[in-house]
Amino acid sequence: MWWKILLFFWIAALSVFAIVTPIAGNLADLAGVAQWSAAKTIPVRFMIENTGAAADDGGWLLTGRDAHGRTADFHFAARPEGLDAAEGYLAIARYDSDQHRVEVARILGGYPSLAFPFIPGLEERAKIIFFHVPMSWMTVIAFLVSMWFGIRYLRKKDMEDDFRSAVSAGLGLLFCILATSTGSLWAKFNWGSFWNWDPRETSIFVLLLVYGAYFALRSAIEVEEKKATLSAVYSIIAAATVPFFIFIMPRIMPGLHPGSADDTGSGPVFSSGMDALMRVVLYSMLLGFLVLYVWLMRIQMRLHRIKLRRSDTALSSTERSISHV
């Protein structure tokens, strides 16, 4: 019982944390953004080195230091109220390459001790990684588990294994639909259209098709032993052909996802550039989803056993009534 409550709080707390924790860049990010868009502002966190002085244009100029220890002039349109020296702040700002100073648009709040790194092109949208990536992983894990129980069924002919296989596939389908829809929605905002046929989008589409075919096959067969055998065989064949995608896909279409062979624009999400905090949150979320999957499996298995017991008693009671006649 206790672990279900813990699981609930685990996922809820991580979700809130992922959403609430700000994205904060540093001076290098500011300079990088300025190269392709002079007017673009981004969130940046900095410590104040000195209280500063009035600038010649009537604004206010002070020295700020970023998390990496680099300093720069921070320019405010008017003297900011209540800024303390040696304090840190999170501001929306841009880099002015002509004046070689940071133009602060507004102060968002105090210096956040925990923040996700600024990733050009993704920014706040980078947070999808904490939900979308675990879902996608669970899709694949559930499929492998389903296949594993399918193989076990073929070896031992235990109907329980077939049921586990089917339940895992059902959960996999659920995760697959969630991953596809969250990814697609996100792609609309980041890449401009709901579907781009990028290699990973295509892979998950194929997984969706495999799951669909698996359940279409199951619903077409009435004899349970046959259903179990044929669906197990199908999932193994499907699994045997999936690795070919990994090979052929990059040759056919350009990748948009991070980690693709020609990945340039989308930045270092989920690669070496992902910072420690992002990793911790992502892996914690993954753990949460894994436990959620196990829990859902257990619920389904219990439901299955209760149904079996009820149909068994129904079966024996009809037998009894027949023998009474």
Binding site for another protein (CB under 8 A): 154, 157, 159, 206, 209-210, 212-213, 216-217, 220-226, 229-230, 232-234, 236-238, 240-242, 244-245, 247-249, 251-252, 308, 311, 315, 319, 322
Least distance in Å: CB of 200 to another protein? 15
Least distance in Å: CB of 64 to another protein? 52
Nearer to another protein, 31 or 221 (CB): 221
CB 155 within 8 A of CB 146: no
At residue 181, the 3 state secondary structure works out as helix
Nearer to another protein, 146 or 266 (CB): 146
Least distance in Å: CB of 193 to another protein? 21
247 contact partners, CB below 8 Å, separation of at least 6:
none
CB 16 within 8 A of CB 81: no
Nearer to another protein, 205 or 270 (CB): 205
Distances (CA, A) of 87 to 23, 48, 104, 269: 19, 6, 16, 30
The closest alpha carbon to 77, from 97, 92, 88, 67, belongs to: 92
CA distance linking residue 31 with residue 83, whole number of Å: 24
Give strand pairing partners of 45.
90
CB 139 within 8 A of CB 175: yes
Nearer to another protein, 2 or 244 (CB): 244
At residue 193, the 3 state secondary structure works out as coil
193 contact partners, CB below 8 Å, separation of at least 6:
187
CA distance linking residue 97 with residue 91, whole number of Å: 18
At residue 72, the 3 state secondary structure works out as strand
Least distance in Å: CB of 132 to another protein? 22
Least distance in Å: CB of 247 to another protein? 6
CA distance linking residue 260 with residue 120, whole number of Å: 17
Nearer to another protein, 213 or 290 (CB): 213
Nearer to another protein, 36 or 244 (CB): 244
Nearer to another protein, 203 or 284 (CB): 203
* Tokens 């609309």, residue located: 188
Nearer to another protein, 40 or 307 (CB): 307
Least distance in Å: CB of 306 to another protein? 15
CA distance linking residue 282 with residue 286, whole number of Å: 6
Least distance in Å: CB of 251 to another protein? 6
Least distance in Å: CB of 179 to another protein? 17
